[in-house]
Amino acid sequence: MRQEQPSLSPAQQAADFKIHFQMTDAGARRACSVTIQAASRVDAAIIFRENWSIIEKLARLNLAAKGPGEITLEAASTG
């Protein structure tokens, strides 16, 4: 008897999407990126916009510490 594969849970369907943006630091532009786990590119963009204030704060802290300007954001997407 043939059995169907169970559908993947939303956490297993999520992929990493990297969104690049620029910020100024001491008058110079710095490249930054954030990696967002989401089910689709559209969901990743929505999560990015909804969490921009947190992302900006983390990016500025990273830049002030002379970090790489790369942030990983883990958020469950609504789907």
- Here the tokens at position 57 are 């704060």
* Cβ atoms of 30 and 24 closer than 8 Å: yes
| pLDDT tens column, 5-46 | 555 555 567 899 999 999 888 888 888 888 999 999 999 999
Yes or no: say if 71 and 35 are a contact pair by the CB < 8 Å rule.
yes
CA 16 vs CA 8, 47, 67: distances in Å = 16, 12, 21
Contacting residues for 24 by C-beta, under 8 A, at least 6 apart: 30
The answer to whether the predicted template modeling score (pTM) of the entire model surpasses 0.85 is: no
